[in-house]
C-alpha cells in the first residue's frame, strides 16, 4: 500500500489539478470562458465566482495566490494545504 503524502507547503499545481481539487471541495462548474473555466460556490448569502486557467502548466505563484485570496475563493494557503491533504493531488 502506498504511503499518503502529507503536504506542508503548496506544490507546483496546474490549472486542471486546481479545478479538480476545487470541485471536490464543492465548487460547481459554471462554464468555459475565454481564459479558463469558471467555478462558483454559494457561501452564505453570497456566491463566489472564480476563473481558473484551464492549463496543464504549473500556475505562477502570483496567479495561485490571487485565486486563493479573499476576493476569489477565500481559501488561502492553509486552506489549499488542507484540501491537498484531504483529497490528494
- Write the pLDDT tens digit of every residue in 30-51: 999 888 999 999 988 999 999 9
Return the minimum-mean-pLDDT range out of 3-7, 12-16, 25-29, 73-77: 3-7
Asked, for residue 48, whether it belongs to a domain, the answer is: yes
- Cα 72 to Cα 1, 8, 50, distances in angstroms: 37, 23, 5
pTM exceeding the 0.75 threshold for the entire prediction: yes
Report the pLDDT value the prediction gives residue 26, as an integer from 0 to 100.
94
Main-chain phi, psi angles of 66, to 5 degrees: -65, -40
Domain count, the chain: 1
Q: Which domain range does residue 37 map to?
A: 15-87
Report the pLDDT value the prediction gives residue 89, as an integer from 0 to 100.
81
What does the pLDDT average to over 60-84? 93
CATH of the domain at 70: 3.30.920
Residues 6+ away with beta carbon under 8 Å from 87: 21, 24, 25
Asked, for residue 6, whether it belongs to a domain, the answer is: no
Amino acid at each position: 500500500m502506498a504511503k499518503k503524502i502529507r503536504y506542508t507547503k503548496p506544490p507546483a499545481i496546474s490549472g486542471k489539478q486546481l479545478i479538480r481539487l476545487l470541485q471536490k471541495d464543492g465548487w460547481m462548474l459554471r462554464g468555459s470562458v475565454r481564459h479558463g473555466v469558471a467555478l462558483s460556490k454559494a457561501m452564505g448569502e453570497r456566491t463566489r465566482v472564480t476563473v481558473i486557467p484551464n492549463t496543464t502548466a504549473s500556475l505562477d505563484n502570483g496567479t495561485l495566490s490571487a485565486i486563493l485570496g479573499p476576493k476569489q475563493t477565500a481559501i488561502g494557503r492553509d486552506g489549499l494545504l488542507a484540501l491537498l491533504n484531504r483529497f490528494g493531488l
